[in-house]
Chains A and B, each alone.
Chain A
């Protein structure tokens, strides 16, 4: 059962525009969320996180929004750059499940120069 879902397998965006990547989850106990970026032949790299006590977290060009009532989070990249082209995974965890993170299947972002 996929508890974290990324329904868009791919996304293409023009350089300089906004990229919005979406993630939905089903477990209402999840209270910590992360986004990872993965280049081919490399392991995922941590990008940004948010806890359930917040609804927004910003780090430079990256902003994550959390809508708990909708069980939805999104990653905004503004402005998008060609170097942002990668696969983006969202992941979620619940404090009472220890250290287990549940990953989405990823969205492949292509930023077109």
Chain B
């Protein structure tokens, strides 16, 4: 089945140690998004790629970076994770404004 896959499901990283989360899709959607969701809060858009064009939200910290080497893959890099970065990270894709398809998320714990 066509889908959005996030790896790993659970990630534990040390304070200040760089970590990379990955997302892949078989939908051939041209837009890919990264959201951060903390407990009891709405998912917060960090950035998105429209084809190869990177669009960063104004309030996304510089600590968060993203790479999209091809249509199918997108990575979220956290250069120096802090305790406040512990959250669920959701990847999503879309082709148009009809709907998003979300991955299952990666739960990040910072110790």
Contact = CB atoms under 8 A, between A and B. Distances in A.
Interface of A: 2, 4, 9, 32, 34, 36, 41-46, 49, 89, 93, 95, 98-106
B40 A105 contact: yes
Contacts of A103: 42-43
B97 A42 contact: no
B1 to A, nearest CB: 13
Interface in B81-111: 90-92, 94, 97-105, 107
Contacts of A106: 40, 42
Contacts of B97: 32, 93, 95, 99
Contacts of B40: 9, 105-106
A49 B40 CA distance: 23
B68 interface: no
Q: How large is the interface on B (under 10, 10 to 19, 20 to 34, 35 or more residues)?
A: 20 to 34
B43 A46 contact: no
Interface of B: 4, 6, 9, 31, 33, 40-43, 45, 48, 50, 55, 90-92, 94, 97-105, 107
Given A43-B90, A89-B42, A106-B42, A101 B100 contact: yes
A4 B50 contact: no
A42 B42 contact: no
Contact of A43 (B45, B50, B102): B102
- The 7 A-B pairs with the shortest beta carbon distances in the complex, nearest first, are A43-B102, A103-B42, A46-B99, A43-B104, A105-B42, A43-B105, A44-B102
Nearest to B40: A105
10 contacts: A2-B42, A4-B42, A41-B107, A43-B104, A46-B100, A46-B101, A49-B98, A99-B97, A100-B48, A103-B42
A102 B6 CA distance: 22
Given A99-B31, A101-B45, A49 B99 contact: yes
A43 B99 CA distance: 14
Nearest to A101: B100
B65 to A, nearest CB: 19
